[in-house]
Chains A and B, each alone.
Chain A
Amino acid sequence: MASLILMPALSPTMTEGTLARWLKAAGEAVSAGDVIAEIETDKATMEVEAVDEGVIGKTLVAEGTQNIAVNTPIAVLLAEGEDAAAADTVTRSADPAASASVAIETPTDPGIVEAPEVAQAENDRDWGETSEITVRQALRDAMADELRRDEDVFLIGEEVAQYQGAYKVSQGLLDEFGEKRVIDTPITEHGFTGMAVGAALTGLKPIVEFMTMNFSLQAVDHIINSAAKTLYMSGGQMGCPIVFRGPNGAAARVGAQHSQCFASWFAHIPGLKVVAPWSSADAKGLLRAAIRDPNPVIVLENEILYGQKFPCPVDEDFILPIGRAKIEREGTDVTLVAFSIMVGVALEAAAILAEEGISAEVINLRSIRPLDTETIVRSVKKTNRIVSVEEGWPVAGIGAEICTVAVEQAFDWLDAPPARVCGLDLPMPYAANLEKLALPKPEWVVDAVRKQLRD
């Protein structure tokens, strides 16, 4: 049966074009793949190929015609044995719109589709008896517990096995779990991260240790484009249960390439969860939750905290919910919001402020994404002031997000503009005195609070 050849769209944005030249004339036979015409768009001259075999019955558009809309009939293709008269029939009877597209069911455009309400994570409960352990020990124990609990969990990274971890976080794991499950890699972040993500897509549950989070940049494409997005792109078929962990932020005197906070980088990405433990309990409870989570979770640790001791519940079922902050110190005059090592700085600031008769509430975020906005907003409504404290840079940082939450959700309760305390907006210097000047200290927090109370 004779059919119409329509003006094709030859690029994602093309809506019309010029028919520059006919390469086949009426009466000529064509087979699929033959070039029949040249079309000019604003970007290029493209060749139009026949998609079926037949004979060109007639051309409907003259050479040089401009602004031909996509889907306009440009020629008639006759099937084997048909004569030219059939061309006229099809041209007369065809409704171009109908032949171009079939009517489809399209939901009406609602303008904005709001995100559904997400249930807040359960509150942390009282886990009873605790013992003092280092953050390093807590992280190690969390991995050991989960490796014992689930055969699909394995640890992979540089120096995690025989060397026992560059920072000794994986001490003893090779001995207990063997080289199948505690795997040393070459220095090849892009490769081993991609490999681990691939394994996770099949349902295994890798823990990827970056010797420091700085090196995650080598692998960031797999974290964002492969791990975080595949669930969505696959229509929910293929999740990626994986943990990316390692020390984040400044250590001491290691210079610009090894001293930076990645909280804001990763918190930006839908499809990822991001946690940042401060204490040993945070470290153990959050890492266990991260390993069990069916989604990719970034665990931002801190090298300086590794050796610090904190009380940690001894209950063997101890685990923390991802998405819940913890109020480390209650107060009534100002809310200090911090994560990771800055929780300690905020607590020190709160102690100094207390001596001046100022009562500061300190929130340890624990999770950066999802962010526990409920706890932040409730606190601000009580204290009427908020100061965020982070080690990372100020521009588009976590503090900017926290202050926005306060303004959007508790504006009428605020007695002062929200304030941010951040690391200075510069690459980390090496010199001891300069490095000290670049990182937030309790005095900066105290100053920010005093200013809020004064103004």
Chain B
Amino acid sequence: MDETPSASGRSNGPALSPETMKRAYRDMLLVRRFEEKAGQLYGMGLIGGFCHLYIGQEAVVVGIGLNMKQGDKSITSYRDHGQMLVAGMTPRGVMAELTGRSGGYSRGKGGSMHMFSREKEFYGGHGIVGAQVALGTGLAFANKYRGTDEVSIVYFGEGASAQGQVYESFNLAALHKLPCIYVIENNRYGMGTSIERASASKDLSRNGEPWGIASRKVDGMDIFAVHEAAQEAIEYCRAGKGPFLLEMETYRYRGHSMSDPAKYRQRAEVEEMRRTRDPIETLKAEMLRSGIEESVFKDIETDVKAIVADAAEFAQTSPEPDHSELWTDILVEA
């Protein structure tokens, strides 16, 4: 077990190159601005149903994404927009699925919680808490069955870590030495229930211990720490040593879903997080310290805003699915 990096400090991992930092900054900002726009469109009634925003947790998915290669698979819960953008799915296609339009990844038949991309090896987008853990273990099983060195990244929240199938999956992955990186995104609240009220296990990074699963607890608000831990975990899995568990200590700024009044935590707690631990601001400060000029951030901001505006425009102008879509894709024609 490695020691926990301090909240604001750098981990001992390798420093990132200026180019990698720029990419990470850009990707995190894209996720943030995309989600803000999604929240806005939800407020306008253009997105319906459940919509769970990733704001605050950006360093987790971006830091891991920096270490993924072509063919690596990923799967997550319903808080999935960030994962999709990092997997390389287009902001247009994701946003248009949120608005339920034919230009969406599922042609409007999946919605916020159910989106997939065969091409980008993104396996959803799952609305049942914990289901993606067993499914993701199956993605790793498939990698091993086919004899590739590809890995499977399985994201779930600390809330899902109370589900029985998570531990059934740990057992199977450890038995078969599957190349599976389990990422607990511990944002402290499973909907409105704090981790203290939900888990007798106080250190989730140790939840794989009975099966001998290697693990680390990571400051999930710090892109450097996430990157370094992800690198270790992914190398370990690629080498055929079996599964790896990463507990990412992170935080979501918004409610569980759009309709969450968030009365279970103090506004001050959220403010404090945003002020002192924000993953994007933290990276920006580090980049400025390393000599990257302020103009770089302005350019990235302009670029990202344009991408998000274009996605929102597309998501509002793409037509609703044709009625014939109602009856397609129920079965594959044998």
List chain A positions with a Cβ less than 8 A from chain B: 6, 8-12, 14, 32-33, 35, 43-47, 49, 51, 70-71, 100-102, 104-107, 110, 113, 115-116, 154, 180, 185-186, 188, 190-204, 221-222, 225-226, 230-239, 241, 270-271, 273, 292-295, 322
**Which residues of chain A are near B46, meaning CB under 8 Å?**
101
Q: Check if B171 sits within 8 Å of A191, measured CB to CB.
A: yes
Q: Which residue of A lies closest to B168 (CB)?
A: A191
21 contacts between A and B (CB under 8 A): A6-B43, A8-B42, A12-B49, A12-B259, A46-B261, A47-B267, A51-B37, A101-B44, A104-B318, A113-B323, A191-B172, A197-B138, A204-B145, A222-B134, A225-B128, A233-B116, A233-B124, A234-B115, A234-B124, A234-B329, A236-B107
A304 to chain B: closest CB distance in Å? 30
CA–CA, A270 to B327, complex, Å? 11
Q: Are A10 and B43 in contact (CB under 8 A)?
A: yes
B172 in contact with A186 (CB, 8 Å): yes
CB-CB < 8 A to A49: which residues of B? 39
Contacts A8-B44, A221-B131, A232-B109 known; A47 to B137 CB distance under 8 Å? no
Contact with A along B130-142 (1 / 0, CB 8 A): 0101111111011
Please, how many angstroms separate the alpha-carbon atoms of A194 and B169 in the complex? 9
B322 part of interface (Cβ distance < 8 Å):
yes
With beta carbons under 8 angstroms apart, the residue of A9, A225, A271 that contacts B131 is: A225
Number of interface residues of B (CB under 8 A): 76
Q: Is the interface of A mostly helix, strand, loop or mixed?
A: loop
Contact of A204 among B48, B142, B259 (CB under 8 A): B142
Contact between B135 and A194, CB atoms less than 8 A apart: yes
Which of B118, B141, B326 lies in contact with A238, CB distance below 8 A? B118
Residues of B within 8 A of A32 (CB): 36
Q: Which residue of B lies closest to A204 (CB)?
A: B142
Which B residues fall within an 8 A CB radius of A?
A: 36-37, 39-40, 42-46, 48-50, 73, 75, 101, 104-110, 114-118, 123-128, 131, 133-139, 141-142, 145, 164-165, 168-169, 171-172, 175, 253, 258-259, 261-263, 267, 274, 313, 316-320, 322-324, 326-332, 334
User: Shortest beta-carbon distance, B62 to chain A, in Å?
Assistant: 19
**Chain B residues positioned under 8 Å from A292 (CB to CB):** 334
Closest residue of chain B to A206 (Cβ to Cβ) is B138
User: Residue on B with the closest CB to A48?
Assistant: B43
In the A-B complex, the 8 residue pairs with the smallest Cβ-Cβ separation, listed nearest first, are A198-B138, A194-B134, A191-B168, A8-B43, A11-B259, A198-B135, A105-B319, A235-B106
Do B134 and A198 touch across chains, with their CB atoms under 8 A apart?
A: yes
For B172, what are the chain A residues with a Cβ–Cβ distance below 8 Å?
185-186, 188, 191-192, 195
- Verify B116–A198 contact, CB threshold 8 A: no
Q: Is the CB of B73 within 8 A of A226?
A: no
The distance in angstroms between the C-alpha atoms of A185 and B135, with both chains bound, is: 16
List residues of chain B with CB within 8 A of the CB of A44. 261, 263
Q: Are A199 and B334 in contact (CB-based, < 8 A)?
A: no
